Amino acid sequence: MGSTGAKKPHALCIPFPAQGHINPMMHLAKLLHVRGFYITFVNTDFNHERVSRSGGAMELKHLEDFKLESIPDGLPPEHGRTQDVPSLCDATRKYFLSPFRDLVSKLNGSMEVPKLTCIISDGLLNCTQQVADEHGIPRISLWTTSTCSYWGFLQYQELIERGIVPFKDENFLTNGDLDTVVDWIPGMRNIRLRDLPSFIRTTNLNDLMLQYCKVECPAALRASALILNTFEDLDKPILDVMRERFPCPIYTIGPVVSFSRSESSDLLKSVSMSLWKQEDACLEWLNDKEPKSVLYVSFGSVIVLTPYQLNEFAWGLASSQRPFLWVIRKDLVVGKSAMLEKEFVEATKERGLILSWCNQMKVLSHHAISGFLTHNGWNSTLESICNGVPMICWPFFADQQTNCRYVCKEWGIGMEINNDVKREDVEALVRELMEGENGKEMQLRAKKWKESSKSALQIGGSSYDNFERLLKEVLLEKH
């Protein structure tokens, strides 16, 4: 290996094994590569295979200093992975430590690559802290859900100590308990229990996800630094409180998706860690549509619907009479392939396009898109914000309820659809978003947030400056 390569700082980047965690980690890896880092990007064997099949990482073969590695996730091949989030979380705790330790030892003992100078791991993969400590390498946590939801997750211990969680009986879902306002969380105004990350919704203290989040979320703060995928203006009240309370330095460098797009080389721009093959034909379809005339619909990479819910959304879209682009993954419907009624397909064939996956950032930045019907995963929410696209929100689980609350009540760029989805509600909200007074106001506010997110990434902007500080103060400190 040449002497220049040997001198490079070397970042090992390892995301939690789900699409919504892989994407921001990849954007961060691209940013570091542009700044001269050797990158080792680690997926699970299962996801590595899927990325290879989708063809998104082919270009990396041309780079000497950006390598992909993989470790086993300990689950059988037929396991549903992200369709069974609790057991995937459990597997990362039980099975990641040993193969990760072996990988770090292999890389550090190799003459072919520079010595590791930092480990950047998902805030949920805290077993990596142990390995970083063993090797005397700084570990940096990348928290990939929203800042508001992270602050919610960090309240789990207190909610348990106050006897609020677990709930006393199963009626809490319908008896109004979830509407209780929690007035003791600093930085969060008028937050209700239903707005906090959804794993508190249990009557069992030993619920796997409740306990997992109670332990793993604060453990991320043991790292040398915490990276948040947001920008200062968006989350200032919560950031102020977190910085006051925790010694771990916090760097907001988001939206990383826009940041990496503006900074990456052309070769890296086209590199995708998509677990599905992306269909780009939809962009040509959009080119023929009027500006701000199309609703984009996607429920992300993990959400599953019942056949009934799929149908209600479908007929709501049909009745709205608006053009739509709808991403329907093969595994979107519980236990079966997602099938739409023939009558719906026939009724909407002139103005609807259905596909299995796409490059969402390209779609949301297209001039034809007027709104986004979303599950409010953080990547989707942030991509909507940085493209100035208002939302119809249908949160499903985890951080999505908190994101929905902030989108609708704090940032004023969304409307929530009832969890028990009805076609007439879908129709009414689509019409309101695309032509109502409320929709027009949201369009204006969305435009302002788009400008705010852009200015954070300019030289002198908060995210740009925070990234420079992160490099100087943490990632390159000893190099």
Query: In this predicted model, what pLDDT tens digit does every residue of 92-135 receive, in sequence order?
Result: 999 999 999 999 999 999 999 999 999 999 999 999 999 999 99
Residues identified as active-site: 21, 122
Distance, in Å, from the CA atom of 257 to the CA atom of 16, rounded to the nearest integer, reads: 17
Residue whose pair of structure tokens reads 């992300």 in the numeric block: 300
Q: Identity (one letter) of the amino acid at 385? A: I
R_g (Cα) of the chain, nearest Å: 22
Distance, in Å, from the CA atom of 368 to the CA atom of 177, rounded to the nearest integer, reads: 42
How much is the pLDDT for 478?
63
Do 165 and 226 meet the contact criterion of CB atoms below 8 Å apart? no
How much is the pLDDT for 1?
42
User: Picking from 122-136, 169-183, 430-444, which range would have the lowest pLDDT averaged per residue?
Assistant: 169-183
Number of alpha carbons in the 13 Å side-chain half-sphere of residue 343: 3
How much is the pLDDT for 137?
96
Q: How distant, in Å, are the alpha carbons of 239, 264, 285, 370 from that of 249? A: 11, 26, 45, 38
Q: Has residue 4 got a pLDDT over 50?
A: no
User: CA angle, corner 394, sides to 393 and 398, nearest 5?
Assistant: 110
- Answering whether pTM is above 0.85, one says yes
Q: Has residue 447 got a pLDDT over 90?
A: yes
Q: Give me the DSSP letters along 322-354.
A: --EEEE--TT-BTTS-----HHHHHHHTTTEEE
